[in-house]
Structure 1
């Protein structure tokens, strides 16, 4: 019997007390031909209230315009953007530039995009990971309460989070850690750690990034067919069911709509996806020259 799909209405509560929709729209690589504007405009018209952006994506102007033109009260939207690696020494300046491009007075969440400072002015390699000082700058802005409503990190491992949380002068716990997450990289240990610290996990690249290879996985396709859903709906629903936030990216209207429809997986199918990494091996699809995962 086909699963009963419904537009996602689930929200999670951050450690700030703010609510974040479980399913959001990712906007990476949505640049050409005004794709960022069109995707966000369409998503907001069809129920999305969570938009994820970043300076790196080079489309904050498009995303912001779509948000402003939507007619949806700002208080009903959750908007994320991110600090890029070259801006660790000028956090507030980078945030102000993002807000200007977005045309917004504040963002709901501001993340350190990677735990690396690649500013060309840094001549000591040991300072490439001086994200503690970066975080202290974010703390200051957050406590002022005007430009950001929550702060967090992305691509942080347990070891890096431990270093951050145990550092002198750090007294704000990240609200979010955003990492690549899917059944071939399920981050069980990281999720357990984050729960112990009251930090939510946001899953990016839930289909495996370029060309969405996880959608083509044999087990994923079989389980999707069994439940009468498409593989993307299966993976988004699995992500939500395990208590994570998920931000599938698409500029295709049909995919934007289908990614927003979720269902509850039968226990055996949910467990089959939980066990997939253990059976087929860990696969990380987002690899960068400036980050080495230490776990």
Structure 2
């Protein structure tokens, strides 16, 4: 199977000059041996983008899976995130993440939530410093509003490369998508299945027409919107199925019908 991270049509540029694979593997709620095995299976299946976080408690297992996989570090895009209550401990948090992952840097480091509901300008300045030190190749945010992103940009001159938010056809928000893109921010969607109704008749009909599962249709919808998607599973068969979305395309009317689910 083709490695996702190695296909030029399956990556999107980041504002700082880097690139992020459109399809990654999420590890939320995976712990211990389960996290290790799922990450190994994902790398074997062809994923080259792994998403973790300090708060997930699985960075060590993700790092071990990467080392044991035999896949070169430079071929894998690694994201981790800082919890909002770690404000003031940014550098130590990232250094602890790198030690657990067993890497010299991460490809993307995110503020996991707006700290205290604010944009967290001081914390963002620390993120910029860690990027300048080479510990994070790109920096971004998660669960931020457009106004909060603007506050960071106006205060520091540095715009987040990514905004990772809950996203699926049922959360489709054209204003948010266009707003991020106009600012040079890549939208990355998490919980694509938890945020969806996999039994919805429109989704099931499109899936049946393509001989795919509703979950595969959702992944494909993200890719065609050029929105990064990070499906998670602990089951090997589903991990493999979620990357098996490159042999078909959704028609414009199907994309529109899926977009409309967000207005239902």
Band the TM-score falls in, shorter-chain normalisation: over 0.9
Partner of 1:140: 129
- The CA distance in 2 between the partners of 1:50 and 1:258, in whole Å, is 16
Shift of 1:7: 7.1
117, 120, 129: which is aligned to 1:131?
120
Partner of 1:231: 214
Pair 1:155-2:140 in alignment: no
- Is the Cα–Cα contact under 8 Å of residues 7 and 260 in structure 1 kept in the other structure? no
Shift of 1:48: 0.6
Pair 1:174-2:160 in alignment: yes
Query: TM-score normalized by structure 2?
Result: 0.93
* Bigger RCO of structures 1 and 2 (CA < 8 A, at least 6 apart): 1
Shift of 1:6: 8.0
Partner of 2:200: 217
Partner of 2:15: 15
- Is the Cα–Cα contact under 8 Å of residues 90 and 123 in structure 2 kept in the other structure? yes
Structure 2 unaligned segments of length 5 or more: list them: none
Query: TM-score normalized by structure 1?
Result: 0.84
Report how many aligned residue pairs link the two structures: 258
Greater CA radius of gyration, 1 or 2? 1
- Is the Cα–Cα contact under 8 Å of residues 115 and 155 in structure 1 kept in the other structure? yes
The runs of at least 4 consecutive aligned structure 1 residues that moved more than 3 Å come to 5-9
Counting only pairs closer than 5 Å after superposition, residues 66-85 of structure 1 correspond to structure 2 as 66-85=65-84
Shift of 1:217: 2.1
Quote the RMSD (CA, aligned, Å): 1.6
Shift of 1:63: 0.4
Hey, which of these two has a bigger chunk of helix by percent? Answer: 2
Could you report, residue by residue, the CA deviation over 1:201-231 in whole angstroms, capped at 9, with x for unpaired residues? 100011125xxx5222222112111221101
- Is the Cα–Cα contact under 8 Å of residues 36 and 61 in structure 2 kept in the other structure? yes
- Is the Cα–Cα contact under 8 Å of residues 21 and 228 in structure 2 kept in the other structure? yes
Against the structure 1 CA distance between its residues 64 and 232, is the aligned structure 2 distance closer, same or farther, given a 3 Å change threshold? Answer: same
Against the structure 1 CA distance between its residues 47 and 6, is the aligned structure 2 distance closer, same or farther, given a 3 Å change threshold? Answer: closer
- The CA distance in 1 between the partners of 2:123 and 2:148, in whole Å, is 13
